[in-house]
C-alpha cells in the first residue's frame, strides 16, 4: 500500500512538472508565433520590426544561438556595432562552433578597429609616428569590397584604386 501511494505521488508529480513545461507564452501568442514573425520580418527587410521581435524572442528563449546571431546581424545593419558584437558573443556562448558568428564578430571588430585608426590618424600630428602607423593600419583594415565593386573594378580598370593597381 505504501509503495502504491509513493508511486501515485511520483506519477502525479511528474504530470504536474510536465504540465509546467508547456511552450512559454509571450504577450500576443507563443514563442513559435514570435519566431515565425521575426523570421518573416528579417527576410522581408523590415529590420526595425525584426529587431524588436528578435529582442522579444531573446527574452522568451534566451538559449537559442540562432536568435542571437540574427539579432547581431540586425544590430550590425543598423550601425550598432557594440550591440552586434555583444549579440554575436552571446551566440558563441551558446554554440562555439558556429563559423557565421565567428566571422560576423571578426567583421564587426575589424570595422571598429578601422574606425578607431581613422580617428587616431585624424588627430595625430603628421610628424608623429602614430600618424604613419595608423595610416598603414587603415590601409590594411579597409573593409572588403563588395562583389559589385570588384566586378566594376575588373570591368573598368581605369577607375581602380592605387591599391588595386599595386595588387595586380
Maximum separation of any 2 CA atoms in the chain, in Å: 93
Tally Cβ neighbours within 10 Å of residue 143. Answer: 9
**CB neighbour list of residue 138: distance below 8 Å, 6 or more residues apart:** 114, 117, 118, 121
Look at residue 148 in the predicted model and tell me its pLDDT: 61
β-pair partners for 29? 26
What gap in Å lies between CA 112 and CA 6, rounded to an integer? 61
For residue range 94-109, list pLDDT tens digits in order.
999 999 999 999 999 9
Q: For residue 116, give the C-alpha cell.
A: 578607431
The Cα–Cα gap between 102 and 61 comes to 21
Please list the residues that pair with 30 across neighbouring strands. 25
Half-sphere exposure in the Cβ direction for 48 (13 Å, CA): 0
pTM of the model: 0.67
Q: Which residue has the higher pLDDT, 148 or 111?
A: 111
Computed from CA positions of residues 62, 64, 70, 76, in that sequence, does the dihedral angle turn out positive or negative?
positive
Predicted confidence at residue 135, as pLDDT, reads 96
Q: Which DSSP helix (H) or strand (E) runs through 19? A: helix 2-20
What is the spatial distance between Cα 108 and Cα 75, in angstroms, rounded to a whole number?
Answer: 10
Task: List, in order of start, the domains of the chain with CATH numbers.
Answer: 24-153 (1.25.40.10)
More confident residue, 151 or 32: 32
Tens of pLDDT along 39-95? 999 999 999 999 999 999 999 999 999 999 999 999 999 999 999 999 999 999 999
> What local confidence, expressed as pLDDT, does residue 29 receive?
63
Q: Which residues contact 134 (CB under 8 A, 6 or more apart)?
A: 117, 118, 120, 121, 124
Query: Residue 28's pLDDT is what?
Result: 47
Tallying the residues shown for the chain, one arrives at 168
Query: Could you tell me which residues are beta bridge partners of residue 26?
Result: 29
**For range 13-27, the mean pLDDT:** 39
Residue of 2 and 43 predicted with greater confidence = 43
Amino acid at each position: 500500500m505504501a509503495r502504491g501511494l509513493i508511486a501515485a505521488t511520483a506519477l502525479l508529480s511528474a504530470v504536474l512538472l510536465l504540465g509546467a513545461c508547456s511552450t512559454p507564452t509571450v504577450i500576443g501568442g507563443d514563442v513559435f508565433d514570435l519566431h515565425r514573425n521575426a523570421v518573416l520580418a528579417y527576410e522581408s527587410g523590415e529590420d526595425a520590426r525584426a529587431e524588436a521581435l528578435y529582442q522579444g524572442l531573446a527574452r522568451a528563449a534566451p538559449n537559442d544561438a540562432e536568435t542571437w546571431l540574427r539579432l547581431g546581424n540586425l544590430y550590425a545593419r543598423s550601425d550598432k556595432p557594440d550591440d552586434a558584437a555583444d549579440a554575436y558573443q552571446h551566440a558563441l556562448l551558446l554554440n562555439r562552433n558556429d563559423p557565421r558568428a565567428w566571422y560576423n564578430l571578426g567583421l564587426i571588430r575589424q570595422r571598429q578597429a578601422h574606425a578607431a585608426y581613422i580617428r587616431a590618424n585624424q588627430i595625430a600630428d603628421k610628424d608623429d609616428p602614430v600618424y604613419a602607423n595608423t595610416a598603414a593600419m587603415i590601409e590594411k583594415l579597409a573593409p572588403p569590397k563588395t562583389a559589385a565593386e570588384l566586378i566594376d573594378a575588373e570591368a573598368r580598370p581605369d577607375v581602380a584604386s592605387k591599391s588595386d593597381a599595386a595588387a595586380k
